[in-house]
């Protein structure tokens, strides 16, 4: 059985996924059915086609077509075209709530152009690899800016970080940051530092940080892919898959501390994985530096690198202990795990509130009378909408699973094997938090880290699909890529302003049950609220409330001004200690008679904002 462990695992995967699928239907939960159907089909396909899949030749052979060889300057013109189209996308997305539909089509066109260049091996020309790399970066920046350029940065944590950046400036100390944002002190400090260094407003500096972070992730994944496969083609395909991945786009278009965590996690993952290819001494100091810094940007990133290190260590001592394949010392990984745990716990206990909050959240999820996993599974959206939202992620999971099963048998690509298994652990952890209703863990974060880990193993299979000799084979591979890429940025999570489907569910984007109750509270008390003050909501929440509020005293905000007296209150109980103003123990005790008070709902924030009249359009 150990000789055919990959086939055995595929069979076990078929049985488990089919049993879980049957259990879901028995419980009346249809929403996540698409995930288990995808897994069942993937394991079944591998079990049937296993012998053929093991014989795949993933080497990069061949030359560019002679037609392209006679036109060496075409790459310059293509790069200019991609740059022009990217600028058009960004220009057309500024200062608006809803991007034009043709913008999404233009993004797909750019991705298709780049993919065709890779298929035609244009990277083999002098300067071809860097040219296509630059084009992919332009595509990434276009996608990120088209979503990030619109005010108000999706509200929520972003405004808190911008406010804290101003606090750091005024007091000259990170200790001035209050509340749970003490858990992420370096992000507002970085915003302040960058804004001072390049003379930008704090909001623009936050945008710039997000853009630089995703670009950095792209470059390190390219480095890892190119070094691991010794192929420029696969390095380019890897980052093209990354740029088209749903959760990478989702977090890349937010101005929050997670954007820095993405970058630091990616650097850590790339450097530690390079040791699987060749022992290199120079990255060690960077690994420990990241382990020290990352907890101060976001605790989820610190936990993610601990999970990755633990998986790498366990694989080293359990699977490769008696072989000469492994080129990374288990003792080094173990020490790095212990070091990361100590640093992370130290930060949690002495520099923030993460440990106390994590313990309370876990105990609450396990012991308190919270909504059951059955009710969670039935909520939010129907099975078709949920599947369409996650189709991009399901396809990535499917392709990478095939490569991981191959490498369990072949063991010729340790980076794909280690990365894929680590990614599976992160994904299982993500869905486990939903199972016990551990809302504080926010599964989206762990799905992001899992996505990054699955890119390299998925690249090998996708590259082989593009090597199909028949026209139909290549057409299928290109079509599959377009489906993957398009659903990566039109789903309701990444495309928050112009949903193509499930519009009734998109209206509730990022609204928790408690926040929805708060919105209903606003609607139920609209007369008293509007009689005593102006009522402001954030730019995107207005799409929900505008159908119910018809008053010149109701509107939305687009900018913040720290010197005014307009306050914000929160509907999240856990944030009432530091994100609320003029609020008692519950929203029922709200004081409506406070002079000069504007009531603002912005997904749970504690900030001051300018009033923007309902009758006017958004400004810059």
String of DSSP letters for 344-371: HHHHHHHSSSHHHHHHHHHHHHHHS-PP
Is it the case that residue 368 has pLDDT exceeding 80?
Answer: no
Is residue 406 within 8 Å of residue 219, measured between CB atoms?
no
Model confidence at 142, in pLDDT bands (50, 70, 90)? very high
More confident residue, 584 or 88: 88
Residue burial 363-383, b: 16+ Cβ < 10 Å; e: rest: ebbeeeeeeeeeebbeeebee
Model confidence at 316, in pLDDT bands (50, 70, 90)? confident
Q: Is 49 helix (H, G, I), strand (E, B) or coil?
A: helix
Sheet with 599-601: strands ordered across:
554-556, 535-537, 599-601
Model confidence at 516, in pLDDT bands (50, 70, 90)? low
pLDDT confidence of residue 525: 76
Task: State the pairing for strand pair 554-556/535-537.
Answer: parallel
Is residue 364 within 8 Å of residue 441, measured between CB atoms?
no
Question: Which of 70-79, 525-534, 560-569 bottoms out in mean pLDDT, i.e. has the lowest?
Answer: 560-569
pLDDT confidence of residue 170: 82
Is it the case that residue 568 has pLDDT exceeding 60?
Answer: no
Which long-range CB contacts under 8 A does 361-369 form with residues at least 24 apart?
Answer: 361/438, 361/439, 361/440, 361/441, 362/438, 365/436, 365/437, 365/438, 365/439, 366/436
DSSP 247-292: HHHHHHTS-STHHHHHHHHHHHHHHHHHHHHS--STTHHHHHHHHH
Question: Which of 160-164, 218-222, 359-363, 370-374 bottoms out in mean pLDDT, i.e. has the lowest?
Answer: 370-374
Question: Mean pLDDT for the chain?
Answer: 79
Is the alpha carbon torsion for 518, 524, 527, 528 positive or negative?
negative
Top-confidence range, 153-157, 278-282, 504-508, 511-515:
278-282
Top-confidence range, 291-300, 318-327, 509-518, 543-552:
291-300
pTM: 0.83
Residues 27, 248: Cα–Cα separation, whole Å:
32
Is the alpha carbon torsion for 593, 594, 595, 600 positive or negative?
negative
Model confidence at 459, in pLDDT bands (50, 70, 90)? very high
More confident residue, 324 or 429: 429
Q: Is 606 helix (H, G, I), strand (E, B) or coil?
A: coil
Model confidence at 540, in pLDDT bands (50, 70, 90)? low
Is residue 186 within 8 Å of residue 289, measured between CB atoms?
no
More confident residue, 240 or 284: 240
Query: Three-state secondary structure along 475-529?
Result: HHHHHHHHHHHHHHHHCCCCCCCCCCCCHHHHCCCCCCHHHHHHHHHHHHCHHHH
């Amino acid at each position: 059985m150990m000789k055919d462990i990959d086939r055995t695992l595929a069979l076990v995967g078929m049985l488990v996924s089919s049993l879980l699928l049957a259990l879901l239907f028995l419980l009346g939960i249809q929403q996540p059915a698409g995930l288990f159907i995808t897994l069942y089909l993937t394991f079944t396909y591998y079990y049937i086609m296993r012998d053929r899949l093991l014989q795949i030749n993933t080497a990069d052979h061949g030359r560019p077509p002679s037609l392209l060889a006679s036109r060496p300057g075409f790459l310059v013109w293509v790069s200019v075209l991609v740059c022009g189209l990217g600028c058009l996308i960004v220009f057309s997305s500024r200062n608006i709530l809803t991007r034009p539909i043709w913008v999404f089509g233009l993004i797909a066109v750019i991705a298709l152009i780049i993919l065709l260049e890779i298929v035609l091996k244009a990277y083999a020309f002098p300067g071809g690899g860097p040219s296509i790399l630059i084009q992919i970066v332009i595509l990434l920046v276009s996608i990120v800016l088209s979503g990030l350029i619109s005010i108000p940065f999706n509200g929520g944590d972003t405004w808190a970080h911008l406010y804290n950046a101003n606090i750091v400036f005024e007091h000259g100390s990170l200790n001035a940051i209050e509340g749970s944002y003490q858990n992420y002190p370096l992000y507002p400090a970085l915003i302040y530092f960058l804004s001072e260094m390049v003379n930008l407003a704090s909001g623009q500096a936050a945008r710039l940080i997000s853009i630089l972070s995703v670009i950095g992730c792209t470059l390190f994944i390219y480095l890892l892919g190119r070094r691991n496969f010794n192929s420029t083609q696969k390095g380019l395909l890897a980052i093209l898959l990354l740029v088209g991945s749903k959760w990478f786009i989702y977090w890349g278009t937010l101005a929050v501390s997670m954007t820095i965590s993405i970058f630091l996690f990616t650097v850590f993952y790339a450097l530690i994985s390079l040791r699987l290819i060749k022992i290199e001494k120079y990255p060690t100091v960077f690994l420990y530096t990241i382990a020290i810094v990352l907890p101060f940007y976001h605790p989820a990133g610190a936990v993610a690198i601990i999970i990755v290190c633990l998986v790498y260590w366990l694989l080293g001592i359990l699977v490769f202990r008696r072989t000469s394949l492994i080129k990374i010392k288990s003792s080094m990984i173990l020490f790095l795990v212990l070091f990361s745990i100590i640093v992370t716990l130290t930060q949690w206990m002495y520099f923030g509130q993460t440990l106390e909050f994590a313990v309370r959240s876990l105990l609450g999820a396990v012991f308190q009378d919270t909504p059951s996993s059955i009710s969670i599974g039935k909520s939010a959206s129907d099975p078709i909408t949920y599947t369409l939202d996650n189709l991009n992620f399901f396809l990535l999971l499917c392709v990478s699973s095939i490569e991981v099963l191959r490498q369990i048998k072949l063991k010729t690509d340790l980076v794909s094997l280690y990365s894929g298994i680590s990614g599976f652990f992160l994904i299982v952890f993500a869905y486990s938090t939903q199972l016990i209703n551990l809302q504080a863990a926010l599964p989206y974060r762990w799905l992001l880290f899992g996505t990054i880990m699955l890119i390299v193993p998925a690249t090998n299979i996708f590259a082989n699909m593009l090597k199909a000799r028949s026209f139909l084979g290549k057409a299928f591979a290109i079509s599959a890529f377009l489906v993957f890429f398009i659903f990566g940025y039109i789903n309701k999570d990444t495309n928050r302003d112009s949903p193509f489907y499930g519009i009734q569910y998109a209206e509730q984007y990022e609204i928790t049950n408690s926040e929805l109750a708060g919105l209903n509270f606003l609607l139920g008390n609209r007369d008293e609220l509007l009689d005593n003050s102006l009522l402001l909501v954030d730019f995107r929440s207005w799409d929900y409330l505008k159908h119910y509020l018809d008053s010149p005293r109701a509107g939305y905000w687009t900018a913040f001004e720290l010197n005014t007296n307009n306050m914000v209150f929160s509907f999240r109980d856990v944030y009432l200690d530091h994100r609320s103003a003029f609020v008692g123990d519950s929203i029922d005790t709200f004081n409506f008679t406070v002079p000069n008070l504007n009531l603002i709902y912005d997904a749970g924030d504690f900030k001051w904002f300018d009033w923007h009249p309902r009758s006017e359009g958004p400004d810059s």
